[in-house]
């Protein structure tokens, strides 16, 4: 049976902070453990994210300093899916935002994931005092 393609979606969250600090929060184990999960362990190119004692392994697919980090869940069999945290700067206002790109199996999961990302980004803003 063929699996249907996952749905790609983007979410944008304005965030008041410097690019350097934001990049640190999305690309380093210490930064990620402050808002994304309980703890992060590094194993080679992989980040082991820990929530309530359970672990999920993600590989860093690519990253560009002060711009974005793209992760791929190791357990996810869909070759094309990943999640990306990208820093966006408005050319005119210089406002900073974070763009989350992620994939879901269906529309219902997209809605569930939006709620989850919204909660995660609220934690990030709280940590940054934004």
pLDDT greater at residue 78 or residue 127: 127
pLDDT score at 96: 96
DSSP H stretches of helix in 1-130: 19-27, 29-35, 107-128
Percentage with pLDDT > 70 across the chain: 97
Helix (H) or strand (E) holding 104: strand 96-104
CATH number of 7-128: 3.30.530.20
Q: 19-52 as b/e, with b when 16 or more CB fall inside 10 Å?
A: eeebbbbbbeeebbbbbbbeebeeeeeebbbeee
pLDDT score at 3: 54
Strand partners, 71: 60, 83
What global pTM score does this model have? 0.92
The domain spans of the chain are 7-128
């Amino acid at each position: 049976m063929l699996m249907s393609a996952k749905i790609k979606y983007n979410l944008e969250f304005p965030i008041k902070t410097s690019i350097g600090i934001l990049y640190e929060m999305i690309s380093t184990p210490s930064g990620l453990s402050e808002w994304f999960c309980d703890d992060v362990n590094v194993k080679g190119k992989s980040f082991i994210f820990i929530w309530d004692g359970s672990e999920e392994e993600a590989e860093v697919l690519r990253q560009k300093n002060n711009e974005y980090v793209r992760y791929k869940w190791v357990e996810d069999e869909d070759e094309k899916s990943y999640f990306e945290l990208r820093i966006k700067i408005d050319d005119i206002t210089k406002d900073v935002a974070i763009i989350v790109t992620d994939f879901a199996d269906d529309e219902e999961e997209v809605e569930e994931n939006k709620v989850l990302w919204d909660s995660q980004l609220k934690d990030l803003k709280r940590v940054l005092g934004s």
